[in-house]
Amino acid sequence: MTAEIHDIADHRPHLMVVASDGAHVIPRSLVQSVIDGKQPSSILTDPVVQRIIEEWLQKVSA
């Protein structure tokens, strides 16, 4: 398995998502572009999307 590793220092702020397949550091602007429909949600892996939804559900259910 190979993965691309990018220096995201220029892409702050960013989110850290601890998903079932490991920790991911994702620029907030990328997540916002998915929300806005500018990027397809498929740009995020299923485990990342699942974790984001899980955390969101915990927030709105509290």
Question: For residue 45, which amino acid is it?
Answer: T
Q: What is the pLDDT of residues 26-36, one digit of tens each?
A: 999 999 999 99
What predicted TM-score, i.e. pTM, was given to this entire model?
Answer: 0.76
DSSP letter, residue 61: H
Question: Which range among 3-7, 13-17, 45-49 has the greatest average pLDDT?
Answer: 45-49
Query: Rounded to an integer, what distance in angstroms lies between the CA atom of residue 32 and that of residue 1?
Result: 28
Determine the pLDDT at residue 1. 58
Q: Where are the domains of the chain?
A: 14-61
Residue 16 near residue 24 (C-beta atoms within 8 A): yes
Give the 3-state secondary structure of 14-46. EEEEEECCEEEEEEHHHHHHHHCCCCCHHHCCH
Identify the residue whose tokens are 């397809």: 40
